[in-house]
């Protein structure tokens, strides 16, 4: 689904009308979190989550944490719900036979950086990982899932959009009341290369949590994009972030197409886009996450732009990780 535009503006009539439903959603979620005693399975668990529905950069953050853990001497595996996939798990992802239709697009991205376990039941997934000898699990999402014990939780917040209109789903983008989420978090990852709005800066500063600055950058040389005429498409939480990045890299975007998050592309989708690109003598470009959902036969027609997390102060992150990892030794 695409996030309604009123989620990221001043609360208007639609938000006010939906606010009672949001209050119910928030109350049910709060009660669920308080009534469940999390289960500690065995591996240390790092959770990467957010407060809002939609894209904030959780998956690149999870990959970035795994890379930092590896530099500190610990190999991590990933745990995912496998949103958009048909398999309920627990199952270890095998990129040679699993597709996005099987396990979702995000686990396929994660699988390029380590073992990935998909399971709707997070406890069952953690137990399968433990049976394989995994000592550190990084959960991509699951912050609002109360069942599996988390040893270290990072909340990823977009510096530009923050918490939107401050309302709970469906009146706004919030998955839960911010004060509840901040209470369970151990650190905030402030994602973006712009300074946050004053009200957002005050909100997160008041939490007293460590704040880690981060931004998404191309993971390989993107100089080829400079001056390149392109047709860009993306079906992610916030496609405009991808389009803005392409513009900053110097690409000449003649057309851009935003699809719903986790959109499953078929051959007709790609043929229409490829024909538009050909007519404009342009290159067809998308994200790594979207590329995982393309029909295999269509991938040769599309270029992808990979991104990774760049940490503003990696030593602050290392201090948090080292404190956790030293408990394993």
Check whether residue 195 and residue 317 sit in a common domain.
yes
pLDDT of residue 186: 97
Distances (CA, A) of 223 to 99, 219, 220, 226, 308: 31, 12, 9, 6, 16
Q: Are residues 54 and 188 in the same domain?
A: yes
- Asked whether residue 202 falls in the same domain as residue 301, the answer is no
On whether both 291 and 147 belong to a single domain, the answer is no
What local confidence, expressed as pLDDT, does residue 41 receive?
93
Token duo for residue 307: 């991104």
* Shared-domain flag, residues 139 and 265: no
Residue 288 lies in a domain: yes
Shared-domain flag, residues 144 and 58:
yes
Q: What is the pLDDT of residue 296?
A: 86
Q: Is residue 139 part of a domain?
A: yes
Cβ neighbors of 90 (< 8 A, separation 6 or more) are 117, 118, 119, 121, 124, 125, 127, 128
User: 153 and 291 in one domain?
Assistant: no
Q: Does the residue 111 lie in any domain? A: no
Confidence (pLDDT) at 280: 92
∠ CA 222-296-288, nearest 5°, is 30
Per-residue pLDDT at 9: 80
Residue 10, domain member (yes or no): no
Written as six digits, the tokens of 109 are: 């991205």
Reported pTM: 0.89
List the end-to-end C-alpha distance of the chain, in Å, as a whole number: 44
What is the full per-residue pLDDT of the chain (329 aa) written as tens digits?
Answer: 567 888 888 878 899 999 999 999 999 999 999 999 999 998 999 999 999 987 788 999 999 999 999 999 999 999 999 988 999 989 999 999 999 899 988 999 999 999 999 999 999 999 999 999 999 999 999 999 999 999 999 999 999 889 999 999 999 999 999 999 999 999 999 998 777 888 888 999 999 999 999 998 887 778 888 999 999 999 987 888 889 889 988 999 999 999 988 888 998 999 999 999 999 999 999 998 899 889 888 888 999 888 899 999 999 999 999 999 987 55
Q: Give domain status of residue 16, yes or no.
A: no
Verify that 57 and 206 share a domain, yes or no: yes
Residues 172 and 236 in one domain: no
Strand partners, 283: 230
Which CATH number do you get for residue 198?
3.40.50
Number of domains in the chain: 2
Whether residue 273 lies inside any domain: the answer is: yes
Domain identity same for 212 and 270: no
- 22 in a domain, yes or no? no
Question: Is 318 in the same domain as 269?
Answer: no
Which parts of 174-266 fold into alpha helices (H)?
Answer: 178-184, 198-205, 239-248
Residue 91 lies in a domain: no
Domain that holds residue 294: 220-305
Residues 174 and 287 in one domain: no
């Amino acid at each position: 689904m695409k996030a309604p535009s009123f989620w990221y503006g001043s609360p208007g009539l639609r938000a006010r009308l939906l606010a009672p439903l949001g209050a119910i959603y928030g109350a049910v979620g709060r009660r669920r979190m308080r009534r469940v005693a999390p289960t500690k399975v065995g591996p240390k668990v790092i959770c990467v989550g957010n407060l809002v529905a939609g894209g904030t950069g959780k998956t690149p953050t999870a990959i970035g944490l795994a890379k930092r853990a590896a530099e500190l001497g610990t190999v991590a595996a990933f745990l995912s719900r496998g949103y958009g996939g048909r398999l309920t798990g627990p199952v270890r992802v095998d990129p040679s036979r699993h597709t996005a239709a099987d396990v979702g697009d995000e686990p396929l991205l994660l699988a390029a950086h380590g073992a990935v376990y998909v399971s709707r039941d997070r406890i069952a997934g953690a137990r399968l990982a433990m049976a394989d000898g995994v000592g550190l699990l990084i959960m991509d999402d699951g912050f609002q899932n109360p069942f599996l014990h988390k040893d270290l939780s990072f909340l990823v917040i977009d510096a530009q959009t923050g918490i939107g209109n401050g309302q709970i789903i469906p009146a706004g983008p919030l998955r839960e009341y911010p004060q509840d989420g901040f209470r369970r978090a151990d650190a905030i990852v402030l994602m973006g290369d712009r300074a946050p709005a004053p009200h957002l800066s005050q909100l997160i500063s008041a939490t007293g949590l460590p704040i880690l600055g981060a931004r998404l950058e191309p993971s390989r040389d993107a100089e080829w994009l400079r001056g390149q005429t392109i047709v860009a498409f993306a079906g992610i939480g916030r496609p405009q972030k991808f389009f803005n990045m392409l513009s900053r890299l110097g690409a000449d975007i003649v057309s851009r197409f935003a699809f719903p998050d986790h959109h499953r592309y078929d051959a007709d989708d790609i043929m229409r886009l490829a024909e538009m690109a050909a007519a404009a003598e342009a290159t067809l470009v998308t994200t790594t996450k979207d590329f995982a959902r393309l029909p295999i036969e269509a991938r040769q027609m599309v270029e992808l732009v990979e991104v990774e997390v760049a940490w503003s102060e990696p030593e602050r992150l290392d201090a948090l990780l080292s404190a956790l990892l030293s408990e394993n030794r």
